[in-house]
Structures are given as C-alpha cells and as structure tokens.
Structure 1
C-alpha cells in the first residue's frame, strides 16, 4: 500500500463551485457557442436537403423490397447479376404501366368528377339522408355550402388559389424529379446491395465482423420481407377496392384504388382508415352504395387479416401489434405517411438487434462488473 503524501494532505480541498466551473471560462464558452452554431448549421443543412435524403431512404427501402425477388432467382440457380437484371426490367415495366395506363385514367376520372361536381352536389342535397340530416341539425346546410362557394370566388381567394396553383405546379415538377431519382436509386441499390453490405462490414473491427455480418444479413432479409409483403398486400387491397368501386357505380374507381394503395401500406391502421375514407366517398354515389362498400370491404379486411396476411408475411419479422401502432404514430408525426411506412421496417430492425445482440449480451453477464456486490 502506498504511503500517504503529506503535501497532498496539506492542500485544501477544492470547493464544489471550483469543481463545476471550467478552468478557462472564456475559451469554454466560446467552444460551446461554436458547437451550438455548428449544430444549428447542420440542422439547417439537413432540412435543406431533406428531399434528397427522403429519396435516398425511399430508394434503399424499395431496393430491400426487391431483394427477396433477386434471392428467389438465385435459389433457382441464376447468378445475382442475372437476377438483378430480371428484377430491374420487371420493376421498370411496372413503372411504365403505372405511368402509361394508371396516371391518364386517374387524370380523366378526376377531371370528370370536377365537371360533374355541381350535379353531384345537387343530387346529394335532394337525397333523403341529406334532408334528414339537415332537419335533425336545424341548419340550412345548402346555404352554408353556397356561402362557402361565394367566399372562394372573391378576388383575394382567387389570388390565394392562383398562388397555390403556382406552388402546386412547382411541387408537381419536384415530385416528378424525385420520382425519377427514386427509380434510379432503387436500381442502383439493388445492383450494389452486396457491395454496400461488404463495405459496411469493413467499418467494424475484425473480431466483431462475422457477428455484424450475420445480424446485417438478417436485418436486410427481414426488412426486405416486410417491405415486399406490405407492397403486395397494398396492391391486392387496391385491386379489391377498384372492383368494389366499379360494382357500386363510382365514377373514380382508379383514384380510390390509388388512395387505398398508399393508405393501406401502413399495417393494421391503414385498412381501417381507408374504410372511413371509402365509405364517405361512396356516400356521394348513394347511401346504399356506401353500405355495400363498407360491408364488402369489412369482409375483405377479415379475409386479409386471417388468410392473406399470414401467407404473405409469414416469413417476415413478426412485429407486435402495439409496436406497429406506436411506430406508425411516431413516424406519421415526424414525416407524415412516409414516416409511418418507414417506421415499421425500422421497428423490425431494432427488434432483431435487441434479440440478436442486446439480449445475448445481457444473458452472458452472470456477475456484476468490477467489485460491485449484488444487493
């Protein structure tokens, strides 16, 4: 045991204030101020390139969703290059079909719905359920609607709408460019996914590289299965909605199918949300059509939950329902619909990391660290 130092014992102990205050307050304050400014600049930079970052993340998730198809071709004896080529061609064909068939049909249906809007509103105002609702509320709903239309036709409203249309035009141009960027990034990520994973593994120490590669492979398989399964379920859902809307006489079945596709990409919540959207929209056809749609779509929701989803998502990572809801709510709050979509694969990835890394590490700790004793 070392002998006590008399000089150290004779020194007065520093006060608590001296321990807290820095030795060079001016330099420390300047460093803190510079750090705050750099953090603000970084946040502003990220906000400025948010569209690019969103396109990159979306392209990566779509690539992970296409990767299971590439793996399926590899299991059949094809090389990865051949599988990537086939998947890329199919992906481009699907994009071309959407652009050449679905988009023009959607534009025509929206234009027809706008032209028929006055007649549709008049028919709704003369329907029995509308008159009953107006009588029960004691409000002249027709006068309220007419006043709203008059307020929209004023000069100030026209200027505001014109500015909004101009912004919408620039928004459409930005959306088209982002769409092209996402398609290009998706094809690039699909073709170079293996090299990207190998490069990521090189950043990990050698003694941890094998374990990291194993966890990374499972994460990519799981996320790819979740993304591919979710897109497949949404496509089936959109097809069912299109058929039901045609059956009930809707004038915008393609529009409703597109809305259903994007809304139902969010598991569990999306179908219920679109049930309300579709029911209200079909109410403009007739109350009977709305009832038929709600009943038919409820039947499909049950079939999807108990038959379709287990067959498609059976091999993907099982995410508890409560985590799906919480993740979708948090993601939607931060980034809207895109955040809700990305939250589910991220939740599955975190569950894999917890199950493969955190829990085994905790189970290996049978004794407290250092000289601590179990209390």
Structure 2
C-alpha cells in the first residue's frame, strides 16, 4: 500500500493497458482502399452510360417548360404534350436528313466521276509538276495503292468508320429513349428528390429547385433562338449568292450553332468549304461573311439572349464552357452554362443572405 493511505486503481482483471490491434486496423484500411478502387473502376467503366443519363436528364429538364406550356395553353394532358414534342423532334430530324443526304450523295458521286479528269488537269499545272519532280508523288501514291496490305488497311478503315457511325447512332437512340422516360416521370423525380430534404427547409429547396429547372429550360430556349437566327441569316446570304444548297447549309449552320463556343465556327467552315468547291472566290466571301457574323453573334446577340435566359455574366458563361469542355468535352461544354446558372441561384438565394446575416 502506498504511503498516505492512497490506493492505485488497476484495470479489471489485473491486466495492463490494452494495445490496438494493428493487424485488424491494417486489414480494414486495405479493405477500404480496395473497395474505393473497385468503385472508381466501376464508375470509369460506366462513364458512357452516366453521360447518356446526364444528357437525357438535361434535355428532359430543358424541354419541360415547352411541355408545361402546351399543357396550359393547348390544355393537353402531359402524355399528349410529350408526344407532340417527340413528334416535332422526329420531324425536324427527318427534314434534316432529307436535306443533307441527297446533296451529299450527289457531291460524292460527282467527285468520284470527275476525279480522273481532275487529276489529269492537276498534273498539267506547273505547281504540281514541280511537286512531282521534287517528291515523286505519283510513284509514291502508286506504291501505296499496290501494296499487299492496302486492301486490309482500307477495310480496317471502313470498319472503323462504320463502328463510329454505329456508336453514334446507338448513343443518339439511347439518349432519346432516356429523355422520353425522364420527361414522362420528371415531376415524380423532382418530388422524390425534395423529400430527402427536411420538412422545415423543403419549401425553400423546392423554390430554388424549380428556379433552376426554369433556368435550364430558358438556356435551351436561348440556344435555339440563337441557332434559328443564325440559320435564317445563313439561308438568306447563301440564297443571295446563288448557292444551290442554301437550305441544306443553313440547317447545318443552325444545328452546329447549338454547340457552345465552337459551333458557329464549325458551321461557318462547312458552309464556306461547300461554296468554295463550286466557286473559290464565293467561298472566300462566304468565310468573311460568317467571320463578321460570328463577331456580331458572340458580342451582341448571344450575350443578350443568354443573359436574359440564365442571368449569368458573359465572362462566367465563357469560363464555365471552357472548364466544362476541358473536363467532359462537348457534353461538359453543353452542361456548363446551366450549371453555372444553378450555382449563381444558390449563391444569391442561400449563401449570400446567410453571410449578410452574420
């Protein structure tokens, strides 16, 4: 017994202090890391499917204002409004294909028919004769064509192109089917999402969520307005210069204008190249016209439409599109601006008021 009558409390059973089981801790930690790795690999493997779902949900939310407008103004049931929107999209796709495929087929056939004459004319030019003398182009081309593996390489290239086309068609069909299901069940999806929020905050979250849905719809509507305006301007210009494919090229310009940042440039290059095949001078004039129009669209039309639609500064729009494009490519650039609008709403209605009350 220690001096002073003090007692020393010993652990129960007389044992000393227990040490942690390092083997068990290491096993559990390794199991957690392995589980995280498997989950990451699963997400990477399902990346394409997740992108399809994200794009379909974005389209469903963006088309929801059109469906609600048809329900209010035309007094349609929701399924009738959804059917009307789907039939309109199918009709537009059919018109687009109908205007694109025949001219493209005609141009390819004409190019294949005139290719020997074009090569003969090209050989008689001093520029090509100089290149032939320096680099022996014809003999090299003949060597490539007559190589034993040329047919295999050509077949492999055709198979690769066919696979890309098939994957694109499959992705488009998948997104359209998912969009149809999401449009039909969007109110139920939103209601279930809001029920995860505590009852005391549910009304405020519902108000913010409905505003975000409205902004996404406004963004898609704004993109359509800019695209239609660009297509109409392109059609009248191409018709004025006498292009035989004014409607086809105008539709190409309108569709590519839906792509953020680079869409207008792609449409301008396609239209200018198509015109230049028939008349190089008119092709150059067309390119200059679209470059001028692109500046007007970028600095006058699009900022006004998009600021009214999503209420986000043009600088934030460009920054968001660049960051989204760097992270997820074209899909990221398309989703970035409405995401920036959603974050702006949350900042203005939630974060900033809380900071002001402190």
TM-score, L = length of structure 1: 0.73
Which sections of structure 1, spanning at least 5 residues, go unmatched?
A: 1-5, 8-21, 367-375
Cα separation, 1, equivalents of 2:26 and 2:139 = 60
Give the stretch that moved more between structures: 282-291 or 250-259: 250-259
Alignment partner, residue 264 of structure 1:
257
TM-score, L = length of structure 2: 0.76
Cα separation, 2, equivalents of 1:28 and 1:125 = 79
Which sections of structure 2, spanning at least 5 residues, go unmatched?
A: 1-5, 8-18
Cα separation, 2, equivalents of 1:68 and 1:36 = 44
Change beyond 3 A, Cα 1:197–1:39: same
Decide whether the 8 Å contact of 2:303 with 2:314 is kept in 1. no
Give the stretch that moved more between structures: 314-323 or 242-251: 242-251
Q: CA deviation at 1:204?
A: 0.8
Instruction: Please tell me whether residue 71 in structure 1 is matched to residue 64 in structure 2.
Output: no
| Aligned pairs, number | 338
Instruction: Identify the match of residue 166 of structure 1 among 134, 137, 159.
Output: 159
Instruction: Identify the match of residue 88 of structure 2 among 67, 75, 93.
Output: 93
Instruction: Identify the match of residue 102 of structure 2 among 108, 116, 129.
Output: 108
Give the stretch that moved more between structures: 218-227 or 164-173: 164-173
Q: CA deviation at 1:68?
A: 1.8
Cα separation, 2, equivalents of 1:262 and 1:147 = 42
Instruction: Please tell me whether residue 323 in structure 1 is matched to residue 316 in structure 2.
Output: yes
Q: CA deviation at 1:169?
A: 2.6
Instruction: Please tell me whether residue 52 in structure 1 is matched to residue 30 in structure 2.
Output: no
Decide whether the 8 Å contact of 1:106 with 1:254 is kept in 2. no
Alignment partner, residue 200 of structure 2:
207
Cα separation, 2, equivalents of 1:363 and 1:277 = 52
Cα separation, 2, equivalents of 1:208 and 1:312 = 33
Task: Please give the root-mean-square deviation of Cα atoms over the aligned residues, in Å.
Answer: 3.9
Change beyond 3 A, Cα 1:60–1:297: same
Cα separation, 1, equivalents of 2:22 and 2:236 = 72
Q: CA deviation at 1:175?
A: 2.9
Q: CA deviation at 1:344?
A: 1.6
Following superposition, which runs of at least 4 residues in structure 1 exceed 6 angstroms of deviation? 120-127, 138-145
Instruction: Please tell me whether residue 34 in structure 1 is matched to residue 31 in structure 2.
Output: yes
Cα separation, 2, equivalents of 1:144 and 1:33 = 63
Q: CA deviation at 1:144?
A: 8.5
Q: CA deviation at 1:217?
A: 0.6
Cα separation, 2, equivalents of 1:151 and 1:259 = 38
Alignment partner, residue 373 of structure 1:
none
Instruction: Identify the match of residue 291 of structure 1 among 284, 303, 316.
Output: 284
Alignment partner, residue 356 of structure 1:
349
Change beyond 3 A, Cα 1:320–1:311: closer
Cα separation, 1, equivalents of 2:356 and 2:143 = 67
Output one character per residue of 1:247-286: Cα deviation in whole Å (capped at 9) or x when no partner.
5466766664455345322445432454455445543333
Give the stretch that moved more between structures: 292-301 or 343-352: 292-301
Give the stretch that moved more between structures: 216-225 or 226-235: 226-235
Cα separation, 2, equivalents of 1:235 and 1:363 = 43
